[in-house]
Amino acid sequence: MAHTSFDQLGLIEPILKALQQEGYSTPTPIQAQSIPYLLEGRDLLGVAQTGTGKTAAFAIPIIQHLAVDGGGTGRGGKRIIQALILTPTRELAIQIDESFRSYARHTRLRTTVIFGGVGQKPQTDALRSGVDILVATPGRLLDLMHQGYVHLNDLRFFVLDEADRMLDMGFIHDVRKVIAALPKQRQTLFFSATMPPEVQKLSASLLTNPVKVEVTPVSSTAETVQQEVYFVDKANKPKLLIHLLNTRDIPVALVFSRTKHGADKLARLIDKAGIRAEAIHGNKAQNARQRALNNFKERKTRVLVATDIAARGIDIDSLSHVVNYDIPNIPETYVHRIGRTGRAGASGIAISLCDAEERAYLRDITKLINRQVPVVEEHPYPVSGEHAEPIAVPTPQRHGRRGGQQQQGQQRHAGDVREPRNVRQHRESRPDAGRGNRPAAENNGHAGHAKAQGTDFAALTAELMRDLDQTAGGGHAKAAAGSNNNRRRWRGPRRNGGGGR
Ligand code: AMP
């Protein structure tokens, strides 16, 4: 934890005032560790994920340098781009832009953001009128560079954000082209959640004598998040979810689905049940993703179904509920998912729907978080047949978890029960056990528990089940690869006022 205050970091008054307005009282660890070096002009290698407060860690010193050195006054009457932040997705770009605007609100600096998937006119207009700080995704940046709208000859600060994800998303060539166009003399800040060899190579080629700051991986769940698990047959998951949305006080819910197809189908199912829902995942056009996110933030939709990758980096204020429609096989992913709620000291509820095949994953999660997840036993879709037998989850060492109020019926703990041998054998005999692939579902004979909700619903459910099975391997493995890298998410106080970041 950081023991410094922002006052001790030598920040200028306009920035301190903005941070105060944001409601930030203490620097996050990455901020406390990086800001002093960045103010000295050192390069930085930050091994940290979104959620650690890394945006402010790089934004604040850049703003300070530019404000102190007379940035914002322009040269020859026009502002010149002096700082470039390159980030892989539109969502991140927008969030980073918003952060810069917030922290620089008492300076004269001007920021703009450019990304693909939308018309370029508003972006080129903004560029023409002159900016000091540019936030960009690689493709659109290159486009606008080629068209002559962006000149980076006077760049002083370069931030490469989420380098590992750039690589995953196939942007590395674009990134290299952008780098080739930058002046050699500059301060470079490099962020990545993980450091695979290729990313290491890239960082070594970009950084000069960098300070390295690493934020420790997640291992504990937010104290403010109330966790619960429902054991349910896989086939009944959609019905149980809709039942919960209909009967429990759930103002908004971020529902995690492991596959893109699954996310779409599930959103359609929920929507058909009369609950406004949308899906967000990598296959959606940028516009559609942003629209879905905005609708959710503005509470026009009650449910946002997201894949782990799509949800990574998205920051939603006042999220009351997170639903694990499936249980992630990487325990850190669970921690990361539920960390989306219970922020800023607000209470949040994380509901997990766990089928027979996922019980082993739940056991791994219990081990990681070292606490039991209360089981809600009373619900209309109880587990049928042999899977009704309880599972083994090793009793965690400490039991500090706050119990949380019971929403429905009795609760027991996931740790109180034993795993049936067939589930154990099935899991352990798989060569890919624990590496992201799941066996196909065998468990589709129990739909009779639910009241029929019309043909459409039944057909969609069947389709959803089929899709989940077909895509389980690839989709899950991909999600796991992304989420495996989860790092500690900052859960400190957040801004008081509105505006997402
Ligand atoms: P980031 O990792 O940059 O995406 O930041 C994660 C979240 O933490 C964002 O919602 C920020 O607004 C918030 N945040 C960043 N720094 C602080 C701080 N020092 N105190 C409280 N919240 C912060």
In tens, the pLDDT along 336-348 reads 788 777 655 556 8
Q: Are the beta carbons of 233 and 384 closer than 8 angstroms?
A: yes
Sort 251 into a burial class: Cβ within 10 Å, 0-12 / 13-18 / 19+.
exposed
Return the CATH superfamily for domain 225-406+415-495. P-loop containing nucleotide triphosphate hydrolases (3.40.50.300)
Pocket test for ligand 1, best of 28, 96, 99, 318 (most atoms within 8 A of CB): 28
Q: Which residue has a Cα nearest atom 16 of ligand 1? A: 53
Ligand 1 within 6 A of CB of 494 = yes
Q: Are the beta carbons of 258 and 326 closer than 8 angstroms?
A: yes
- The whole-number pLDDT of residue 424 equals 30
- The whole-number pLDDT of residue 448 equals 28
Q: Please check whether the two domains, 6-214 and 225-406+415-495, share a CATH topology.
A: yes
Q: Which residues are CB-neighbours of 429 under 8 A, at least 6 positions away?
A: none
Ligand 1 within 6 A of CB of 52 = yes
Strands across the sheet containing 44-47: 111-114, 133-136, 83-86, 157-160, 187-192, 44-47, 211-214
- The whole-number pLDDT of residue 461 equals 58
pLDDT 10s digits, 145-173? 999 999 999 999 999 999 988 988 889 99
Q: CB 24: neighbour CB atoms within 10 A?
A: 22
* Backbone phi, psi, residue 322, to 5°: -120, 135
Q: Which residue has a Cα nearest atom 15 of ligand 1? A: 53
Q: What's the Cα-to-Cα distance from 456 to each of 87, 265, 270, 276, 381, rounded to whole Å?
A: 41, 12, 12, 17, 20
* Backbone phi, psi, residue 84, to 5°: -125, 130
Q: Give the DSSP H/E element, type plus range, for residue 322.
A: strand 321-324
Select the more confidently predicted residue: 459 or 26.
26
In this prediction, residue 74 has a pLDDT band, given cuts at 50, 70 and 90, of: low
Each domain of the chain, given as residue ranges in start order, spans: 6-214, 225-406+415-495
Q: Which residue has a Cα nearest atom 6 of ligand 1? A: 51
Q: Torsion-angle region of residue 10: left (phi > 0), alpha (psi -120 to 50) or beta? A: left
Q: Does domain 6-214 have CATH number 3.40.50.300?
A: yes
Ligand 1 within 6 A of CB of 315 = yes
